[in-house]
Structure 1
Amino acid sequence: MQLVVARVGRAHGIKGEVTVEVRTDEPELRLAPGAVLTTDPASAGPLTIATGRVHSGRLLLRFEGVTERNGAEALRNTLLIADVDPEELPEEEDEYYDHQLMDLDVVTADGTEVGRITEISHLPSQDLFIVERPDGSEVMIPFVSEIVTEIDLEEQRAIIDPPPGLIDDRAEIASSREEGDA
């Protein structure tokens, strides 16, 4: 199974380093020196990480064969993709890889169907589930324990306890506001 683990940002300095937008919870494993990553676009890779370091809160990588700024800048916006064994599990009990969560059915504690996880967005403050509802619309659900109360991989579902307004239908909200105005 292949997972996008980072996106290359701009060149840093003159020796071929690049900034990267990390898209994995395990950068120390997936983006370590010696890791060989496929790329999107494929013409940019495969790339082997030569060095990695943190500078001013950003991860900087240098790839084998990329020794100057122009080569680094040519990689900008390239997605870095790692091969991951689908049976591999995170070390912590309450941690999940994105591929384990994709396509899970999302239901409320009382069994009401909300939709299906189609994407996971990793933001600096928290992760978000992008959930496609049965009507085709999307809702974003913060992946925090107060809202996502259980992940049941055997049953292929995520159980949520959403606060008011998080998943309520916009039409229902609008009509309740109109009733209040009457």
Structure 2
Amino acid sequence: MQLVVARIGRAHGIKGEVTVEVRTDEPELRLGPGAVLATDPASRGPLKIESGRVHSGRLLLRFEGVRDRNAAEELRNILLIAEVDPDELPEGEDEYYDHQLMDLDVVTADGTEVGRITEISHLPSQDLFIVERPDGSEVMIPFVEEIVTEIDLEEQRAVINPPPGLIDDRAVVASARESEAKAPDEGGDAGRGDA
């Protein structure tokens, strides 16, 4: 099975290094020196990692045969793909590969059906489940512990505890300006005081 593990960013320096947007929780395993990765588009690969280092919080890679900035810049936006055994599991207890989460049914804690995971979007701050609802619309659910309370691979479901407004129209709008504007009309005292 093939998994996207990174996207190549811009060239760094003049010796062929590139920045990469890491899309794996195991970069040391998937993006280490000597790793040979397929690419999307396939015509640009495979690429063999010659070296890697972290600079200012970003992973920089150099590939065999890429020796200057121009060659590195030509690799921009290419996806790097690793071949992974489908039975292999991530090392962390609460970690999952995308293929394990795809097509899971999403339900609330009380069993209400929300939809089915059709895509996982990897953002710098967090991952998002793209969930197709029964009516064909989509909802984005942050894959964070406070919202996604359980992943049950045997039952093929993800249980969520959504805040108001995430999957429905019950959002609570809190505005200090609205509270202040309403307080005098309601016969209350706008300031805090003792009775």
| Residue identity matched to 1:96 | Y
The residue number in structure 2 matching 1:164 is 164
Identity of aligned residues (%): 88
Please tell me the root mean square deviation across aligned C-alpha atoms, in Å: 1.2
- Distance in 1 of aligned mates of 2:57 and 2:150: 32
Secondary structure of 1:99's partner?
helix
The residue number in structure 2 matching 1:179 is none
Match status 1:26 vs 2:26: yes
Match status 1:43 vs 2:43: yes
- Summarize the alignment of residues 1-182 of structure 1 with structure 2, pairs less than 5 Å apart: 1-168=1-168, 170=169
- Distance in 2 of aligned mates of 1:146 and 1:76: 35
Secondary structure of 1:19's partner?
strand
- Distance in 2 of aligned mates of 1:147 and 1:10: 34
What's the CA shift for 1:73? Answer: 0.9
Larger Rg: 2
Secondary structure of 1:28's partner?
helix
- Distance in 2 of aligned mates of 1:93 and 1:102: 18
Deviates more, 1:33-42 or 1:88-97: 88-97
- Distance in 1 of aligned mates of 2:109 and 2:122: 25
- Distance in 2 of aligned mates of 1:92 and 1:20: 23
Q: Gaps (5+ residues) in structure 1?
A: 174-182
TM-score, with length taken from structure 2: 0.84
What's the CA shift for 1:125? Answer: 2.1
What's the CA shift for 1:126? Answer: 1.8
Q: Deviations over 1:104-160 (max 9, x none)?
A: 110111111101111112222221111111111111111111111110000110011
What's the CA shift for 1:79? Answer: 0.6
- Distance in 2 of aligned mates of 1:159 and 1:53: 38
| Residue identity matched to 2:8 | V
- Distance in 1 of aligned mates of 2:75 and 2:122: 22
What's the CA shift for 1:63? Answer: 0.3
Secondary structure of 1:120's partner?
strand
